[in-house]
Chains A and B, each alone.
Chain A
Amino acid sequence: MTTTTQALDIRNIALLGNPNAGKSSLFNALTGLNQKVGNYSGVTIDKNTGTWTWADGKTVDLIDLPGIYSLFAKSPDERVVLDPLFNLENKDRPDLILLVLDASNLTRSLLLLDQIRAFNFPIVVVLNMLDVATNRGVEIDLKKLEQKLDLPFVAINARLQSGLDTLEQTIQTLEPTLNTPASSALTEAWEQEIHQQIPLQNNFHAKLLLSQYEHLPFLATTQKTFLANIVHKYQLDLIELQTQDSQQRLTTLNAFTEEVASVPKNVVTLTERLDKVLLHNIGGYFIFFTILLFVFQAIFNLATPPMDWIENSFTDFSSWLATLLPESLLTDLLIDGIIAGIGGIVIFIPQIAILFGIISILDETGYMARVMFLTDKTMSRFGLNGKSIVPLISGTACAVPAIMATRNITSWKERLTTIMVTPLMSCAARLPVYIIFIALVVPSAAVFGPFGLQSLVLAGLYLGGFLAALISAAIFNKLLSRDIPEDNFFVMELPSYKLPQWKSVGITIYQKTSDFVWEAGKIIIALSIILWVLATYGPPTAMQQAEQEAIELYQKQPQIAESEAALIASKQLEASYIGHVGHFIEPVIRPLGYDWKIGIALITSFAAREVFVSTMATIYSVGDPDGTEGTLLDKLRNEKNPETGALVFSTATSFSLLVFYLFAMQCIATLAIVQRETKSWKWPMIQLAYMTALAYFGALLTYQLLS
């Protein structure tokens, strides 16, 4: 572990500090909107980088590392901090570390500084949260603190953006004297043995390497095996090793803090007064459910106008393009394959943006941590964690960002369980399917005062998804207990309440939405194109025959379709490859009450569930599916089985379909994200299998009971 001495030409600055120390506020204040989100190499954790422009016009790259308490990282999002520190080849390796100290938690944040000093990076210490410290009655002797730290030091207020000029000047005038790490001798035999293979500067490096080597991507396999052998050979208790190291540091640092700061006074802070209400054993839950209700209300109501606008814009754009471009397969591919695919992604942006906007506000204020605290007991009964509440709520918009939101769950078992059950939450893509079948079979009569029967059925579906998620979680928890050791514990900080910072709310909205657009988007578009090919092409003679039949049929009975073109589209879809698949799977889905036409729609749903509606529109030759929901509804309502003359969409079939869509894993994008987050195909395959089984047997039971 040798690091080279560099002249202080600063291009790359890393921000490091405890969670809730105001690190991100500082990052936002310094970079403004000059930010971009990338990935850390090899892992899928968001990396926030930005450009900080100095008064003299110079620009430096700023990277906002995840907030951590200690370099002894415990979860994937904490571990990404280690690579830029250890790995000399890392392209994010900073020329300077800005370490944010939390004035209201001096000893604890000094722990991280103390650890960082074991690396020879230039460090500038930034003291933030002095106002919170003052509220707690803590007085800090800044002069003395700076003197004792013996590092460049700036006090700031990140929220009010004060002290930033001084910070800039301090960095500009930094002398190229490096922080030389306290080179503690390698006293232990195992430290020396590691040193022979992997050069170490001090014993903290040895402890870090040993406790984290499995997760350090830059280590070669031989080095990892070597370190594993060391652990085995010396029978090292790695947990104890880390605890003792931190404990020793804290003892020294406590004495340090006592010298520079007064002890907190016994004052009742605003946070404590708010907690009396928000954590109240009855009132607290009541407030939580009220907020939850508001969140769902917002997702549905606030998102409707922009969603309608997007839908109309895409329809208008498609028809405009259709008039402009020559009639050809390529035009078809562009309009029905690519643009329809993009439209299917963009339509969900409003709901996702609103949901993550609200979640981010709740998180910024410190309330989300209280929600996790309040719900942990209920969640843990089902093998989940209080932190599972965010993925589960997010799942009502889209499972893709929801599954990415499980990363801060430290227990692998609880995280995996959360990932496995989150797709059972009814996402936005299921809603169009719910709406059409509820409209089809549930009378719009009002019952129970203001609540209509239809909205009660809809609410029931959402509740059903949530209960299915909880029950499945309990089962997974039992099954996983055999393979994964109990490592579940729940320790988290309840941060002080503060007002949300709108800039960071905006940044979160942007990040989550772009996560969804890029991660889910590319898969949905690819699949839309494949499905378009399968639905457009078929055995050539069969396709021609279908067209001929349709033309003849339309001449005889023009009333059965909206137009000749619509009838041709319908007949050709039947003759296409996808039509063949629909016929092929008919025996399997017949017991659920579905015919081959529904079979086709089930298959096309794999790009995105809402495609079901437009596929049905094509099959029933409604023509342009957009804006013709009423027509489609009439078509479906009157559709009769050609042999028996019975209604195809009976109450039994419709409810069977609702149950099927409630449980089925019809989303390739989600499966791909699960694969990436669990780093194995095993889990997405199990997920596909159990959800399909749940959907199939659930629908079977529903159909057989109702018919």
Chain B
Amino acid sequence: MVLTDLNVGEKAIIEDFNNPQVELVMTDMGCPLGTTIELYHKTLSNGPLSIKTASGNLLAIRSKEAKNLIIRKQ
């Protein structure tokens, strides 16, 4: 399952970013592998989506990257 499959309000654990650069940026922003996230908002027509990390941060990510981001739904 990937991040784009998640509905707003659903929670999941990040299992694989499949993009080393995105992984580095997200890790440094306090959202490494294994973080529990919640889908916060989806924009129209495959635009970026935003997630809420366990500590309440909101991070935005493009759906292109979100499609590669493997999650395990909780």
CA distance A494 to B60 in the complex (A): 7
A250 to B30, CA, bound (A): 7
Chain B residue with Cβ nearest A107: B30
A69 in contact with B29 (CB, 8 Å): yes
| Cα separation A105 to B62 with both chains bound (whole Å) | 23
Interface centre among B41, B44, B54, B65 (most CB of A within 10 A): B41
Known: A264-B54, A275-B41, A380-B62. A491 touches B20 (CB 8 A): no
Alpha-carbon separation in the docked complex, A279 to B45 (Å): 14
Q: Which parts of A254-268 form the interface with B (CB within 8 Å)?
A: 263-264
Whether B61 sits at the interface, judged by CB under 8 Å, is yes
Q: How far is the CB of B13 from chain A (nearest CB, A)?
A: 14
CA distance A264 to B59 in the complex (A): 17
The answer to the question of A376 belonging to the interface, with a C-beta cut-off of 8 Å to chain B, is: yes
Contacts of A240 in B (CB 8 A): 20
Residues of chain A within 8 A of B19, CB atoms compared: 489
Which segment of A185-193, A241-249, A469-477, A577-585 sits at the interface? A241-249
Query: 1/0 contact trace for B17-47 toward A, CB 8 Å?
Result: 0011111111111101100000011011111
Is the C-beta of A413 less than 8 angstroms from some C-beta in chain B? no
A376 CB contacts on chain B under 8 angstroms:
43, 47-48, 60, 62
Structural contact, A374 and B59, CB atoms closer than 8 A: no
Whether, in the assembled complex, B55 has its beta carbon less than 8 Å from a beta carbon of chain A, the answer is yes
Tell whether B50 is near chain A: CB-to-CB under 8 Å.
yes
- Interface status of B58 (Cβ within 8 A of chain A): yes
A237 to B22, CA, bound (A): 15
Docked Cα-Cα span, A369 to B57, in Å, equals: 13
> Is the CB–CB distance between A247 and B57 below 8 Å?
no
* Contact residues on A (Cβ < 8 Å of other chain), bracket: 35 or more
Contacts of A70 in B (CB 8 A): 28
Q: Are A111 and B28 in contact (CB under 8 A)?
A: yes
Contact of B62 with A489 in the complex, beta carbons under 8 Å: yes
Our pick among A69, A243, A487, A490 for the contact of B60 (Cβ within 8 Å) is: A490
Q: Is the CB of B60 within 8 A of A489?
A: no
Decide if A483 is an interface residue (CB 8 Å cutoff).
no
A108 in contact with B30 (CB, 8 Å): yes
Interface positions of A from 65 to 84, Cβ below 8 Å from B: 69-70, 72, 74
Bound Cα distance A539, B62 (Å): 63
Tell yes or no: A493 within 8 A of B by CB: yes
Checking B21, B22, B29, B47 against A377 with a beta-carbon cut-off of 8 angstroms, the contacting residue is B47
A136 at interface (Cβ–Cβ under 8 A)? yes
Residues of A within 8 A of B58 (CB): 271, 493-495
A104 within 8 A of B: yes
Residue in chain B with minimal CB distance to A250:
B32
Also in contact, A72 and B43, with CB within 8 A (given A373-B60, A489-B62)? no
Residue numbers of B with Cβ under 8 A of A are 19-30, 32-33, 40-41, 43-48, 50, 54-62, 64-65
Given contacts A243-B32, A373-B50, 11 further A-B contacts (CB under 8 A): A69-B30, A72-B28, A107-B55, A264-B54, A279-B41, A374-B43, A377-B48, A489-B19, A491-B25, A493-B59, A495-B58
**What 7 A-B pairs come out closest when comparing CB atoms?**
A108-B30, A377-B47, A70-B28, A494-B58, A239-B20, A69-B28, A490-B62
Jot down 5 A-B pairs with beta carbons below 8 A, ordered by A.
A107-B55, A377-B44, A377-B46, A491-B25, A491-B59
